[in-house]
Structure 1
Amino acid sequence: MRTDEEIAELIRLYLPKQALFEIIDQFQLDIMQEHGLPHWIRVAANGLYLAPETGASDKLAVLFAIFHDCRRLNDYEDPKHGARGAAYFQESFQQRLGIGPREAGILCRACAGHTHELHSADPDIGTLWDADRLDLYRVGVHPDPEYFSTEYAKSEEVVKWANRSAFSSFNQLLPIGQELLSEYESISIS
């Protein structure tokens, strides 16, 4: 089981601040609302929590968390947002972040399919989708284990982790999120 600090270090490692700040700049919604930065950080944390048990890539867990909802036009019905996030990643970040074709393909498939595909036998894609679905607690929805791709996501340990994550304040659970937001705001103001 990873600690909050280990998770924060992995987020710092795989998410260059400048890239995150560019993504925040183009985000069409309130960055602190339902599909904004707090959700992205929780999805990254969920993915990084699952990854050691599922064999998923830590890097893909962090990148998926940021890109899967970054092109939403609203917080409700927006069925193409995942595909737009995947395209945005490919056009603007794949080369800069040094992501090869195999990893990019997995990330783009996961982003594009995260709202309408049910399961994936691929350990990376299944883990990424589970990480997002585990954050449904934030909107008062208890995720149905039937929709998880990995057995580990169904475990009592993970359910407790996800509940803790969803109902903790943004800076209480993972100070990395508040740290990144504060730095972004200080740069935006200057």
Structure 2
Amino acid sequence: MTHEPALLLQEILRGYALPWDGHHGVVHWARVLENGLQVAARHGGDTEVVMLFALFHDACRVNEHIDAGHGTRGGELARSLRGTLVHLDDARFDLLYAACALHTDGHTTGDPTMLACWDADRLDLGRVGIQPKPELLCTDTARELLPWAHERATSDHVPTDVLASWGMTRGLLPRW
């Protein structure tokens, strides 16, 4: 069974507490997806889990600053949608959940899928004025992608193709 990203995004945004266009909002999620797909393609990783991570990792934040537990809450949201909008076997779901729950803990070793997820998020730190440190990235692939990703993050690059595939227009207005 395939995932319907537009339906997933619609459900996530129903309960999203922050502005859709904020530092941890939909454009960030779209850049995380693009970053993660690049890392997974070169380093390895489950691209379906990477896509779901992009949508869920910050989906349950309640503020734009330090928000302890938001990754675990995102994993719990994904769990609540298992069988309806999230279709992963137990092992792959466990990867998604752990990637979300641990994404702010600074880990740099582990399963290739989790590393792709964590690097994908860290590569977008420029959006909040932080230059990612190469030694805190998980993979050589992410270190190679750092200049490309950092330029996109600091210039507020909007991944319009990803947003369109998620049912959103350039102005972040849903088409649903």
Normalization by structure 1: what TM-score?
0.82
* Equivalenced residues, count: 171
Q: Report sequence identity in percent.
A: 33
1:83-122 aligned at under 5 Å gives the runs: 83-92=72-81, 94-96=82-84, 97-122=86-111
Distance 2:93 2:100 in 1: 10
Distance 1:28 1:83, change over 3 A: same
Q: Deviation at 1:175? A: 3.4
Q: Deviation at 1:19? A: 1.5
Number of the residue aligned with 1:55: 44
Q: Deviation at 1:184? A: 5.6
Deviations 1:117-154 (A, max 9, x none): 32122111111100000000111211011111111111
Distance 1:176 1:128 in 2: 17
Structure with greater contact order relative to length (CA < 8 Å, sep ≥ 6): 2
Number of the residue aligned with 2:150: 163
Number of the residue aligned with 1:34: 23
Pairing 1:129–2:118 present? yes
Q: Deviation at 1:80? A: 0.4
Structure 1: unaligned runs, 5 residues or longer: 1-12
Tell me the amino acid that sits aligned with residue 73 of structure 2: R
Number of the residue aligned with 2:163: 177
Could you tell me whether the CA contact under 8 Å between 2:127 and 2:156 is conserved in 1? no
SS of corresponding position for 1:88: helix
Could you tell me whether the CA contact under 8 Å between 1:110 and 1:128 is conserved in 2? yes
Could you tell me whether the CA contact under 8 Å between 1:15 and 1:62 is conserved in 2? no
Distance 1:14 1:47 in 2: 17
Distance 1:177 1:169, change over 3 A: farther
Tell me the amino acid that sits aligned with residue 165 of structure 1: R
Normalization by structure 2: what TM-score?
0.88
Could you tell me whether the CA contact under 8 Å between 2:59 and 2:74 is conserved in 1? yes
CA root-mean-square deviation: 1.9
Structure 2: unaligned runs, 5 residues or longer: none
Tell me the amino acid that sits aligned with residue 95 of structure 1: G
